């Protein structure tokens, strides 16, 4: 490669600048010395936004492309979109700055073929991304969960003799209770208690057995710890008894599907819910899981489940979503989900991620369950850099340090402690 003679003049120290968010842009412009109006105006132009929209009529895709181009943005459509029937649903990918999108939204809102509804969805998406900097708040019983600042930590207590994470040794009532108290004292934000193993191949347990494992434990902890307790179950009868005992959050691995009464229970008891994606059941979920686009498919599923929950009376402000790492996914699926975890924020709900000690970590590092702390730490730190809201972990002392350090690097506020 030939060297370039830049001559005797000044060296300009030309470099690429990383701008991942509007706060990044605002910081850069403020350090430069721009006035407040300029900081607000130009920061909206410094971050490229890429938005995917499905089920767009082909004839509407033509309009979107024209509008985006006229406002300074861009729009990609399928190569043969001009050859198909105008009503055929297609996918489009729009690109531009926040300013480009806001100008386009105003135009799209008066267009036909469903584009008024699309404009409304785009406006909501931009408001979530570039709107109020106030943290989102979820009331969980007598507790308040603040999102948008530091990453919250959910500590896992598996009251199961065949738990993949604790090799069967934790489930002695006194030991489980002591460990839960240790987690609370260490600084976790939520305790998540489950009485049925969800490891690949696990067999379901009876209702009475799951109640025996969880309800007395929750009852004993509710007056001892000063953080919210979550019940990890897909059975409404278990969730109801757990809430009566002092739990205030429902964490359902089935996405509120396996027991239709779970939605009405959450609505009636005003309980926050974690809606998780799972392909299949724990017994068969790892038998050749297939997706067209794992993140797109899961996002579509979670959106449908959120809509169903809301239609059933669940407060939309009390929904969290979890893409379900390891629940009907290959190693490659899990890695893709983590790489693209920020895409789930488009659902408008706090995003929960549970990678702790999962099998894909063991497969990549060739480590047994009790030696996956460092692998877990890598996934937690990466996900925090991508904006995840809650991490679900077993090794809480180690992960609390990882979270605190990753939050600091990511520039997340530590004020909501």
Residues acting as catalytic residues: 358, 392
> Is 137 in a helix, a strand, or coil?
strand
Rounded to the nearest 5 degrees, what angle is found at the Cα of 215, between the Cα atoms of 398 and 241? 125
228 and 183 Cβ atoms separated by less than 8 Å: no
44 and 130 Cβ atoms separated by less than 8 Å: yes
Backbone angles phi, psi at 66, to 5 degrees: -65, -40
- Please, what sign has the CA dihedral across residues 204, 198, 192, 233? negative
Tokens matching residue 14: 């030309």
d(CA 402, CA 244): 34
* Residue 60 region by backbone torsions, left for phi larger than 0, else alpha for psi between -120 and 50, else beta: alpha
User: Would you mind telling me the total number of residues written for the chain in this entry?
Assistant: 417
State how beta strands 89-96 and 49-57 pair. Answer: antiparallel
d(CA 348, CA 263): 19
Give 23's Cβ-side CA count (13 Å radius). 10
Rounded to the nearest 5 degrees, what angle is found at the Cα of 270, between the Cα atoms of 230 and 272? 40
Backbone angles phi, psi at 8, to 5 degrees: -80, -5
Closest CA to 364 of 338, 324, 332, 405: 332
State how beta strands 143-147 and 352-353 pair. Answer: unpaired
Distances (CA, A) of 357 to 289, 325, 378: 20, 11, 11
d(CA 373, CA 398): 8
Closest CA to 246 of 256, 231, 264: 231
């Amino acid at each position: 490669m030939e060297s370039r003679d830049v001559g005797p003049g000044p060296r300009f120290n030309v470099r690429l600048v990383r701008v991942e968010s509007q706060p990044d842009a605002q910081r850069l412009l403020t350090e430069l010395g721009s006035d407040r109006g300029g900081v607000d105006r130009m920061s909206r132009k410094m971050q490229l936004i890429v938005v995917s929209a499905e089920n767009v009529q082909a004839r509407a895709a033509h309009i979107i492309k024209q509008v985006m181009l006229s406002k300074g943005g861009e729009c990609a459509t399928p190569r043969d979109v001009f050859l198909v029937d105008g009503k055929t649903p297609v996918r489009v990918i729009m690109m531009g700055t926040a300013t480009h999108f806001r100008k386009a939204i105003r135009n799209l809102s008066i267009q036909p073929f469903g584009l008024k509804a699309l404009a409304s969805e785009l406006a909501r998406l931009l408001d979530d991304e570039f709107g109020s900097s106030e943290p989102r708040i979820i009331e969980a019983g007598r507790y308040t969960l603040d999102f948008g600042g530091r990453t919250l930590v959910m500590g896992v207590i598996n009251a199961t003799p065949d738990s993949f994470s604790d090799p069967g040794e934790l489930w002695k009532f006194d030991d489980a209770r002591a460990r839960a108290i240790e987690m609370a004292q260490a600084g976790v934000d939520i305790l998540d208690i489950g009485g049925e193993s969800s490891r690949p191949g696990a067999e379901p347990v009876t209702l009475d057995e799951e109640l025996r494992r969880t309800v007395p434990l929750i009852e004993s902890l509710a007056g001892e710890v000063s953080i919210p307790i979550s019940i990890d179950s897909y059975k409404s009868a278990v969730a109801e008894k757990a809430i009566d005992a002092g739990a205030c959050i429902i964490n359902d691995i089935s996405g509120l599907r396996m027991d239709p009464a779970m939605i009405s229970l959450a609505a009636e008891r005003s309980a926050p819910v974690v809606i998780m994606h799972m392909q299949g059941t724990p017994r068969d979920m790892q038998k050749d899981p297939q997706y067209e686009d794992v993140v797109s498919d899961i996002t579509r599923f979670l959106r449908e489940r959120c809509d169903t929950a809301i239609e059933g009376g669940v407060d939309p402000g009390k929904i969290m979503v979890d893409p379900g790492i390891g629940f009907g996914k290959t190693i490659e699926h899990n890695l893709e989900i983590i790489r693209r975890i920020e895409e789930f924020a488009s659902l408008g709900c706090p995003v929960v991620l549970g990678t702790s000690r999962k099998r894909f970590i063991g497969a990549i590092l060739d480590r047994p369950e009790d030696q996956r702390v460092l692998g877990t730490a890598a996934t937690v730190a990466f996900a925090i850099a991508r904006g995840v809201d809650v991490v679900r972990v077993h090794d809480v002392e180690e992960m609390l340090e990882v979270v605190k350090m990753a939050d600091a690097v990511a520039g997340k506020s530590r004020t909501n402690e």
